[in-house]
Amino acid sequence: MALLEKSRLQEIVSKFNGKSVLVVGDLMVDRYQSILARKISREAPVPVGDLQGEKLSLGGAGNLANNIVALGGRAEILGFVGDDPQGEWIRKALSEAGVEISGIETFKRPTTLKTRYVVNGFQVLRVDREIRSDIDFELSDRLLKHADAFIAKSDLVAIADYDKGTVTSYLIDALVASAKTAGKKIIAQPKVKHYLDFRGVDYVKSNEREASIATGISVLNETGLRNIATNLTTRLGCRAIILTRSERGITVFEQNNMTTIPPMLPPNEFARPVGVRDAMTSVLSLAIASGANAFEGAALSNLAAAIRGQRAGTIVVSSKDIMQNLDIADKIFSQVVQVPVRR
């Protein structure tokens, strides 16, 4: 019998509808400037172009919440925006998507804005406007005043850190304590700065590079990978570690097993996927909330990454997308093998 059955995964996805996830993290805007180049400048050896259009998309934790709603779930969000047009746009876009935004607070920093310049269909530059230092205790407390009420009505908590300052060790400790008291599971999506502060969460999903930096352990072979997982599960006390590994797929460390799930679909070399991490975490969050284990959730999120990777820009993946691609994924799932890990 295969470790992953299509019927079981269909059952999990069918339960996404109505599951509620509290998303906590950095809010940002992805801006795309489309430019048609027409000549080379006399001032410098660079193209001169005409602006054809501009598109704004939700980034960071906002993108994660948007993905959860697109999959049929419900999302509440805790985070900050600046008192600026981008902050207002985030509130409006999330509200229109169906995300509960009463937990969004305003601070004095500008809203994080990532501007991508796309010339003749190719991205040539990205410029970020942001402040990355940690928020202080007072600002954290402004978010935490909403936490207990939101956690009480949520099925799961997802903390999404992008190293933009919202997620701090103080905020993590308080959220973990509240979630544990309420009996709710927590998924962490760390970057690097606060990776080892996610003590007490149930599941950690990140990539191999960030996990290697956080632990100081190089991944020269599978032994190095196992050492990273053992180190993290011991230090963080989590149930499972899910590590994305680019073209090598996803490796899941759960209890005493290590399982690698290869990529589901070939990458599209002409697409510029943005927000793949958020699409994966949204699927993982709803899967865990729907009764999946880490292995099943990782398999579904791996499929979401493959679907997302075929598309350009910052867009979402739906439950229908996942259901329609399970036949392709089923051929991969039948070849997955678990390897025991000795500690």
- The mean per-residue pLDDT over the stretch 240-266 comes to 83
> Would strands 122-129 and 112-119 be described as parallel, antiparallel, or unpaired?
antiparallel
The answer to whether domain 6-40+56-340 has CATH 3.40.50.300 is no
Q: Is 234 helix (H, G, I), strand (E, B) or coil?
A: helix
Active-site residue (options: 30, 134, 278, 321): 278
Report the percent of the chain where pLDDT is more than 70. 90
Q: Name the least confident of 82-86, 132-136, 218-222, 241-245.
A: 218-222
pLDDT of residue 108: 95
Does pLDDT of 221 surpass 90?
A: no
Tens-digit pLDDT profile for residues 14-63: 999 999 999 999 999 999 999 999 999 999 999 999 999 999 999 999 99
**Residue of 153, 131, 142, 158 whose CA lies nearest to 66:** 158
Residue 106 · residue 22 · CB < 8 Å:
no
Q: CA–CA distance from 159 to each of 24, 137, 194, 341 (Å)?
A: 5, 17, 12, 28
Angle, in degrees to the nearest 10, between helices 61-70 and 85-97: 20
Cβ 333 vs Cβ 3: under 8 Å: yes
Q: What pLDDT, on a 0 to 100 scale, did the predictor assign at position 311?
A: 55
End-to-end CA distance of the chain: 27
Strand partners, 313: 273
pLDDT of residue 31: 96
Q: For the chain, percent helix, then strand, then coil, each to nearest 5?
A: 40, 30, 30
Say whether pLDDT at 261 is over 60: yes
> CA dist 52 to 28, 40, 55, 326, Å?
23, 18, 10, 38
Residue 255, classed as helix, strand or coil, is coil
Tell me if residue 278 is catalytic: yes
Q: Residue 2 has what pLDDT? A: 58
pTM: 0.91
302 near 281, Cβ under 8 Å?
no
Burial category of 231 from C-beta neighbours within 10 Å (exposed 0-12, middle 13-18, buried 19 and up): middle
The Cα–Cα gap between 312 and 267 comes to 12
CB 261 within 8 A of CB 296: no
Question: What pLDDT is stored for residue 249 in this prediction?
Answer: 82
Question: What's the whole-number average pLDDT of the chain?
Answer: 90
Question: Is the pLDDT score of 334 beyond 80?
Answer: no
> Does the pLDDT of residue 327 top 80, yes or no?
no
- pLDDT, tens digit (0-9, with 9 covering 90-100), for 230-239: 999 999 999 9
d(CA 253, CA 225): 10
**Domain layout of the chain by residue ranges:** 6-40+56-340
Choose the weakest-confidence range: 164-178, 196-210, 310-324. 310-324
> Which residue, among 332, 303, 330, 300, has the nearest Cα to 16 in the 3D structure?
300
Task: Assign 274 a pLDDT band (cuts: 50, 70, 90).
Answer: low
* Residue position matching structure tokens 């070939």: 266
pLDDT for 1 beyond 50 = no
Please state, in angstroms and rounded to a whole number, the distance separating the CA atoms of residues 160 and 166.
9
Tens of pLDDT, residue by residue over 27-38, are 999 999 999 999
- 43 CB-contact burial (10 Å; exposed 0-12 / middle 13-18 / buried 19+): exposed
Please say if the pLDDT value at position 111 is more than 80. yes
